[in-house]
């Protein structure tokens, strides 16, 4: 009763607050939830949009306009292009060609990888580039005997810097442009800040090749997957006694195995028959078979108490017991947008759908080897998979997991050429004309890909990360409310007078104001996602320019640049999170390598932005 009354009182109080207080309260609440990771970003953004309508701050048309904005259309279209590039093998072939014949050692390899990921990210999404290049980098690492941890951070950081080369490179650039349209300000053109982006990419590459390379961590080279995932600790060979109730039952039919969280990785037949690895549902257990089981010692012991099983002393977890000509052990990454995120192997029915066994799971907290079906999966987790080659190839094509080993060579055919030519045409038209809508061009490009069968319509829809679109649409509503209710002349008169006085007496210069805005954006983007940061900071940049009587472009570029410098933690950007597992990184690795890079690039940006975009129009 008291709880119900308190909720009603809180709701009534919210409705009694003035719109400015409601917007500020929602902004603070959103920041707290994002920073503390209390709920999914997309759901929070959708909740904010609904709250703005229910409290009367915005009407429904205003609050939901962001979901139909050109920014959302462009982001969705770039997801489709990124998927098609990857599916047709375009990005992987470019990566292979660019990295082939690297004879200059680790330094040259780091330089090539950083530049390549940056250039690819200028036209594809960061996450798509990272997902494509991780297997290529893994292959190069093995051939060159160079630790993978030495090249994945440069690859991820290069992809973030590549987002500053074109307007369509990241959702951050697109939502800033959308905020400018909503405010009646001319948006940026396709290549308006390409020069600055290329300069920062070059400086970042020099840092990662030079002093930054000394800060990169070293991980063991040449470790087998079994050694890295500590497989022998949790793999046991059990002999099936003639009296066992398992005899003549299929592997998939044995409920007691699932109850104890034990997986059958193989059946070794008696009398010299060929072993059956990654057995399917039709393989039946016989007397005197040796079962290769994956599970904790406690689970195996509990299982043996229910069934007459006898443990064998030797386990060949690194030899032919787990792999054969057709059965492989491979490492797979859970990427952004995977249906496995925030799910478990059991609820996702991963074994049933894929036909693959999960032998181990690597998370930021360490390697998980017991009760794997119950582990909640996150983006960036890596799975050690055992399965038949066709099943592994099929799972890789479905993109719920990304195979970190290059199982099959990419095929580049007519679909690849169609994809490349379509995207090139969009870029060319956008460069030559500032009057044609980028959203319309991108949507026409996607329709061209579907019409020419370069991508199927169903695959195009599946390739879109709808959570990103929900986040953008909801946060655009918050940005609109923030500008409409908080950044009004009535609310900012005092601030405007203070800033004006400081500018007049020289205590505050336009350059210092830009640096403050850039620094604030950089710091905020480390704890929020960069899209939300850009939406929050863009109205502030416009207001600063208006108060100071200066051009808005340099302050807007400070926001775009700052939101891209997400180097200080793995949670600052999806690209960082995706390399955590494959590179075996710790949080401190990003802080150690990223802090000097952030300082250097912020200084370069603070120097170059006023030169390229003067504070006062000529």
What is the pLDDT, as a whole number, of residue 202? 95
Residue 158 pLDDT level (bands cut at 50, 70, 90): very high
Mean pLDDT of 242-246: 75
Q: Which residues contact 44 (CB under 8 A, 6 or more apart)?
A: 30, 33, 34, 474
Q: Give the pLDDT of residue 227.
A: 63
More confident residue, 483 or 487: 483
For tokens 């890079």, the residue is 597
Dump pLDDT digits (tens) for 284-308.
888 878 777 777 777 777 777 676 6
Mean pLDDT of 53-79: 87
Q: Mean pLDDT across the stretch 113-119?
A: 91
Of 51-65, 88-102, 501-515, least confident by mean pLDDT is: 88-102
CATH number of the structural domain 225-311: 3.30.70.1450
pLDDT at 3: 44
Query: Is 370 or 151 the better-scoring residue by pLDDT?
Result: 151
* Element spanning 354, H or E: helix 350-354
**pLDDT value at position 320?**
43
pLDDT above 70: percentage of residues in the chain: 83
In this predicted structure, the answer to whether residue 406 has a pLDDT above a threshold of 70 is no
Highest mean pLDDT among 223-237, 514-528, 572-586: 514-528
CA angle (269, 275, 276) in 5-degree steps? 110
Q: Which sequence spans correspond to the domains of the chain?
A: 225-311
The sign of the CA dihedral 164, 529, 179, 433 is: positive
How confident is the model over 183-211, as a mean pLDDT? 92
Tell me which residue has tokens 């990888």: 113
For residue 12, pLDDT over 60 is answered with no
- Give tens-digit pLDDT for 510-520: 888 899 899 98
Give the mean pLDDT of 392-413.
Answer: 72
pLDDT at 618: 62
| 279 vs 163, residue with greater confidence | 163
What is the distance between the alpha carbons of residues 446 and 429, in angstroms, rounded to a whole number?
A: 15
The answer, yes or no, to whether residue 546 has pLDDT greater than 90, is no
Say which residue, 490 or 287, is predicted with more confidence: 287
Q: Which residue has the higher pLDDT, 427 or 159?
A: 159
Output the pTM of the full model. 0.78
Can you spell out the DSSP letters for 453-503? TSS-HHHHHHHS-HHHHHHHHHHHHHHHHIIIIISSHHHHHHHHHHHHHHH
pLDDT of residue 612: 94
* DSSP structure class, residue 412: -
Residues 60-86, mean pLDDT to the nearest whole number: 85
């Amino acid at each position: 009763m008291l709880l119900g009354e308190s909720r009603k009182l809180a709701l009534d109080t919210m409705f009694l607050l003035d719109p400015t207080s409601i917007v500020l309260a929602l902004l603070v609440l959103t920041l707290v939830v994002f920073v503390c990771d209390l709920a999914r970003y997309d759901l929070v953004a959708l909740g904010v949009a609904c709250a703005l309508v229910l409290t009367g701050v915005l009407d429904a048309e205003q609050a939901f306009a962001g979901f139909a904005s050109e920014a959302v259309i462009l982001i969705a279209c770039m997801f489709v292009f990124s998927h098609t590039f990857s599916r047709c093998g375009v990005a992987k072939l470019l990566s292979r060609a660019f990295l082939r014949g690297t004879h200059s050692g680790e330094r040259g390899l780091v330089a090539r990888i950083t530049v390549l990921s940056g250039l690819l990210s200028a036209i594809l999404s960061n996450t798509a580039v990272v997902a494509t290049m991780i297997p290529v980098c893994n292959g190069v690492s093995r051939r060159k005997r160079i630790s993978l941890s030495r090249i994945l951070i440069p690859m991820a950081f290069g992809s973030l810097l590549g987002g500053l080369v074109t307007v369509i490179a990241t959702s951050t650039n697109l939502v800033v442009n959308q905020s400018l349209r909503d405010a009646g300000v001319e948006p940026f053109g396709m290549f308006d800040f390409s020069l600055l982006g290329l300069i920062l990419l070059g400086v970042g590459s020099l840092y990662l090749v030079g002093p930054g390379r000394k800060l990169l961590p070293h991980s063991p080279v040449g470790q087998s997957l079994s050694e890295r995932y500590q497989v022998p600790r949790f793999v046991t060979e059990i002999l099936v006694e003639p009296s066992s109730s398992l005899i003549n039952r299929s592997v998939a039919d044995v409920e007691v195995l699932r109850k104890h969280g034990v997986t059958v990785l193989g059946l070794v037949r008696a009398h010299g028959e060929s072993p059956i690895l990654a057995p399917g549902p039709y393989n039946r257990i016989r007397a005197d078979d040796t079962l290769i089981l994956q599970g904790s010692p406690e689970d195996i012991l509990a299982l043996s108490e229910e069934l007459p099983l006898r443990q064998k002393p030797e386990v060949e977890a690194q030899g032919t017991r787990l792999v054969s000509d057709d059965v492989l052990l491979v490492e797979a990454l859970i990427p952004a947008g995977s249906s496995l995120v925030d799910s478990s192997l059991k609820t996702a029915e991963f074994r049933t759908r894929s036909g693959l066994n999960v032998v181990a799971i690597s998370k930021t907290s360490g390697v998980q080897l017991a009760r794997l079906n119950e582990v909640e999966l996150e983006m960036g987790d890596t799975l050690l998979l055992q399965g038949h080659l066709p099943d592994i190839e099929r799972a890789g094509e479905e993109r719920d997991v990304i195979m970190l080993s290059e199982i099959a060579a990419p095929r580049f055919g007519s679909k690849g050429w169609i994809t490349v030519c379509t995207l090139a045409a969009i870029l060319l038209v956008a460069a030559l004309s500032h009057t044609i809508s980028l959203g319309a061009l991108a949507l026409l490009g996607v329709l061209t890909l579907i019409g020419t069968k370069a991508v199927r319509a169903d695959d195009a829809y599946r390739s879109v990360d709808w959570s990103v679109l929900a986040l953008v649409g909801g946060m655009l509503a918050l940005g609109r409310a923030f500008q409409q209710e908080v950044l009004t002349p009535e609310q900012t008169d005092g601030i405007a007078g203070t800033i004006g006085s400081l500018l007049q007496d020289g205590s505050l210069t336009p350059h210092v104001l830009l640096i403050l805005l850039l620094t604030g954006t950089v710091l905020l983007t480390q704890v929020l996602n960069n899209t939300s940061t850009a939406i929050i900071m863009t109205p502030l940049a416009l207001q600063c320019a208006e108060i100071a009587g200066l051009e808005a472009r340099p302050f807007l570029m400070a926001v775009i640049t700052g939101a891209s410098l997400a180097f200080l933690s793995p949670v600052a950007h999806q690209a960082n999170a995706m390399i955590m597992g494959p590179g075996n990184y710790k949080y401190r690795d990003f802080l150690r390598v990223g802090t000097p890079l952030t300082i250097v690039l912020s200084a370069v940006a603070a120097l170059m932005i006023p030169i390229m975009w003067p504070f006062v129009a000529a």
